Amino acid sequence: MPRRGLILQTRTHWLLLGLALLCSLVLFLYLLECAPQTDGNAPLPGVIGENYGKEYYQALLQEQEEHYQTRATSLKRQIAQLKQELQEMSEKMRSLQERKNVGANGIGYQGNKEQTPSDLLEFLHSQIDKAEVSIGAKLPSEYGVIPFESFTLMKVFQLEMGLTRHPEEKPVRKDKRDELVEVIEAGLEVINNPDEDDEQEEEDSPLGEKMTFNENDFIEGYYRTERDKGTQYELFFKKADLMEYRHVTLFRPFGPLMKVKSEMIDITRSIINIIVPLAERTEAFAQFMQNFRDVCIHQDKRIHLTVVYFGKEGLSKVKSILESVTSESNFHNYTLIPLNEEFNRGQGLNVGAQAWDKGEVLMFFCDVDIYFSAEFLNSCRLNAEPGKKVFYPVVFSLYNPAIVYASQDVPPPVEQQLVHKKDSGFWRDFGFGMTCQYRSDFLTIGGFDMEVKGWGGEDVHLYRKYLHGDLIVIRTPVPGLFHLWHEKRCADELTPEQYRMCIQSKAMNEASHSHLGMLVFREEIETHLHKQAYRTNSEAVG
């Protein structure tokens, strides 16, 4: 018994010594991180003979700010980790003290092995074993490989870009920034505090001190995600005065699925007020009402239509179309609001939302060139909740049918064009005009910005308002929502930014990359075909 007490006392002394050393390390790291870094060889901006504009200094300030934000985040994480280690050591000391007290009182103690959630640990390790980390996987074709994306301290280089992302860009989303910062810090922790089984030799600096790596030694990294297993990270570090690289492989395994909630949602009495701002374009409105009749009147039957019409030209035609639908389908749940002023989409949607006087209602902001299905209307109901969620679906935008179906005498009917193929259309991930949200949320957030005139911009302003608020924004592509192609005209009255957006949208709406390429090289293709035909005829004659 005295011998056991002596052992416990010795362990306690060692833990106290370790705790003191750890506190000293925290203080040293803090002083090291807070000390300003200087570079005697760095050139000063603004030296005589160099022309630096305002944009240069703004970019320089932004780069410095991002660098120090990254450094501050790194320091906070290190301090939090050290605090956790201090707490763990304190708990171990308390446990040893309790054991010592028990031994001193003459009560027998039988040590038990520390219990761990073995099942979870085994599952996480199995995820690493199943992922393609150490051993290559046999794939059926070249399309089965999961490519990596690469990154540095400030940039991400990505393959799957969509239409709003770039081949090279800064990680804009906070979760992506935090993820990469955490991964680099974890890699530095592995290098600076290696385990016994790590295959690396201890290196000393020229002064004989232990070499310590920091985020400035990070060269590049790669990551890829296997959706059912986890994310793999390959990190490379290098000191400027050394030839060797340090390579660290990390893996973030996905855990087992966990239930968050299970609920019943009743949408049988949920009415949707579809609000459509309109100016002229009566033929497109007639086509829209054909789809409205089939989906909303004959299938869904829980819809109110609000049309806000700008100007006088075409107003009588719109009235005639609505009256025709009323007489044919006995449908009276619509409101026509004429405004004798210049078209403004945001103003039209604001007026349509405020015109509703029957309390709370779910609104669908829609355009006249949108085709939707009954399934989409249910998605609208399921993904919007007053005071909690707004729904921003991504529309599938169809290309010019005259180009897509150029090999046919005439394009097929609209219903046969509604397919999700690369050459028939694209996911309009830069558009935020189609949205489902409750009237109370729309009014609370202040509606659309009335300062935005003409084409584009008002929907982005509203979208950003929700992003800056507390509501959850559901953003996802949906199969039952299509944007039908129509010729665009970019007015001269638009601001330079609006005109650029309009031209960009016009170019993207025309055709796929391959079809546009066929148009560009049409003459070369026709020349080739003529040569082939001439060669064939010559051989036949010969």
Encoding tokens for residue 76? Answer: 């906070």
Sequence-separated (6 or more) residues with CB below 8 Å from residue 243 = none
Q: Confirm if 376 and 481 have CB atoms less than 8 A apart.
A: yes
- Residue carrying the six token digits 């803090």: 30
What pLDDT is attached to residue 188?
94
Q: Which domains does the chain have, with CATH numbers?
A: 142-203+210-266 (no CATH), 272-517 (3.90.550.10)
Strand order in the sheet with 168-169: 168-169, 156-157, 149-151, 218-226, 230-237, 246-253
Report phi then psi at 341, rounded to 5: -155, 175
Contact 123, 255 (CB under 8 A): yes
C-alpha distances (whole Å) from 451 to each of 276, 277, 346 are 20, 17, 9
pLDDT at 215: 92
Tens digit of pLDDT at every position of the chain (542 positions): 444 444 445 556 666 666 667 667 666 665 555 554 444 444 444 444 445 566 666 766 777 777 777 777 777 777 777 777 677 666 666 665 555 454 444 333 333 344 456 777 777 777 777 776 766 667 676 667 778 888 888 888 776 655 555 666 666 577 888 899 999 999 999 999 887 666 555 565 555 567 899 999 999 998 988 888 888 999 999 999 888 889 999 998 887 777 777 888 899 999 999 999 999 999 999 999 999 999 999 999 999 999 999 999 999 999 999 999 999 999 999 999 999 999 999 999 999 999 999 999 999 999 999 999 999 999 999 999 999 999 999 999 999 998 888 888 889 999 999 998 888 998 888 889 999 999 999 999 999 988 766 556 789 899 999 999 999 999 988 999 999 998 878 888 888 888 888 887 777 788 877 787 777 787 888 888 888 888 888 777 76
pLDDT value of position 163: 53
The CA R_g of the chain, rounded to the nearest whole Å, is: 33
Q: Which two tokens stand for residue 336?
A: 């026509």
Buried b (16+ CB within 10 A) or exposed e, 486-511: beeebeeebeeebbebbeebeeebbb
- Looking up tokens 């005498």, which residue turns up? 409
**Which two tokens mark 190?**
């592995």
- CA 428 – CA 60 distance, rounded (Å): 34
CA dihedral 251, 161, 481, 503 (to 10 degrees): 160
Distance in angstroms (rounded) separating the CA atoms of residues 151 and 163: 20
Determine the pLDDT at residue 195. 78
Two tokens, residue 305: 């239509």
